[in-house]
Amino acid sequence: MSDAAARTDQDRAKQAAADAALKEFVRDGMVLGLGSGSTSLRFVRALGAAVAQGLEVTAVPSSTTTRELAFELGVPLATFAEVQHLDLTIDGADEVDPDGNMLKGGGGSLLWERIVAGASDRMVAMVDPSKTVERLGAFPLAIEVVRFGWESTRASLERTLAALGHPEPKLVLRTNTDGSPFTTDSGNHILDAHLGAIDNPLELDARINWVPGAVEHGLFTGVAKAVVLGRPDGSHEVRDTAANPAARALR
Ligand SMILES: O=C(CO)[C@H](O)[C@H](O)COP(=O)(O)O
């Protein structure tokens, strides 16, 4: 299959996941968290259409890009100054394992995504088949770091990752197309850790945030309570991941 055909298939699958997430999980009166990334933007467009037809929801976006699109589409928005408790967050993911543990942050919005998901009763992930994996880690693990001393933070992270069984981890400063460092909505940088495979997601999740200067990372263990898998033919499947052992261990 050509790259273009694969992309089209992936686009259709993302659309199927976004449409299904809206239909299966969103109800009148909900306060919603909106994710970031292309699948989430598809969800926001579907949500905007539903709002135009009378659906009543309020939403808290997890990035400036998502906020701008939702605003443009007339989705009623709120900030955390107005609401602190959300019913449901719907977001995309870069990888998801059979327990529902995820790698996120490909779009660089992991910190706000984590805050929005953390304020929600329930988080549901939308994925296409290319995102489902037996073991996380082929996709780089995004680690958001404050700009001050990021080089030293990288060295500390390398030591931590090595101690956790990832010898000589490669941590790459994320850049824009012009080569300048990528900056998140919170003004931080991102280091992408190329680990290859993550055998111990729960331990890694707990340990990375101990490193001074590391603000957040893209390993979301036990966060997704369900995963909506969209397929190129427009069908979908909902996987219940609420029984994730990581979710139990975190409580
Ligand atoms: O975590 C994210 C952004 O920080 C996205 O949800 C993730 O990268 C998936 O993106 P897409 O839907 O474009 O494949």
Using one digit for the tens of pLDDT, what is the confidence trace for 200-213?
Answer: 898 999 899 899 99
Nearest CA to ligand 1 atom 3: 107
Q: Is 105 in the pocket of ligand 1 (CB under 6 A)?
A: yes
| 3-state secondary structure (DSSP) of residue 39 | helix
In terms of Cα–Cα distance, which of 36, 112, 39 is closest to 79?
112
Q: Which two tokens stand for residue 153?
A: 């933070």
Q: Please, what's the b/e burial string for 38-72 (b: 16 or more CB within 10 A of its CB; e: otherwise)?
A: ebbbbbbbbbbebbeeebebbbbbbbebbbebbee
What is the structure's pLDDT at 245? 75
Does 140 sit in the ligand 1 pocket, CB within 6 Å? no
Catalytic residue among 24, 56, 95, 113: 113
What is the C-alpha to C-alpha distance for residues 187 and 172, in angstroms, rounded to an integer?
18
pLDDT at res. 51: 98
Residue numbers belonging to the annotated binding site for substrate: 36-39, 91-94, 104-107, 131
pLDDT recorded at residue 160: 95
43 alpha carbon – ligand 1 mean position (Å): 12
| Residue 3: both structure tokens together | 């790259």
pLDDT of 247: 64
CA max distance for the chain:
54
163-171 long-range contacts, CB within 8 A, separation 24+: 164/200, 164/203, 164/204, 164/207, 165/199, 165/200, 166/193, 166/195, 169/193, 169/194, 169/195, 170/194, 171/143
C-alpha 91 to ligand 1 mean position (Å): 8
Residue 222 region by backbone torsions, left for phi larger than 0, else alpha for psi between -120 and 50, else beta: left
36 within ligand 1 shell (Cβ under 6 A):
yes
Beta strands in 1-104 (DSSP E): 31-34, 58-61, 86-92, 95-96, 102-103
What gap in Å lies between CA 76 and CA 165, rounded to an integer? Answer: 46
Cβ of residue 89 lying under 6 Å from some atom of ligand 1: no
158 catalytically annotated: no
**Probe residue for ligand 1, chosen from 45, 65, 109 as the CB with the greatest number of ligand atoms within 8 Å:** 109
Residue 108 near ligand 1, beta carbon < 6 Å: yes
According to the model, what pLDDT value does residue 251 have? Answer: 43
pLDDT in the model for residue 226: 97
For residues 18 and 156, what is the distance between their CA atoms, to the nearest angstrom? 38
Distance 93 CA to ligand 1 centre (A): 5
Domains and CATH numbers, the chain: 3-133+222-236 (3.40.50.1360), 141-216 (3.30.70.260)
Tell me how far apart the alpha carbons of residues 26 and 124 are, in angstroms, rounded to a whole number.
Answer: 11
Q: How many residues does the chain have?
A: 251
Of residues 123, 95, 84, 80, the one with CA closest to residue 250? 123
Q: Is 63 helix (H, G, I), strand (E, B) or coil?
A: coil
The pLDDT assigned to 249 comes to 58
Q: Which residues of the chain are modeled with pLDDT < 50? A: 251
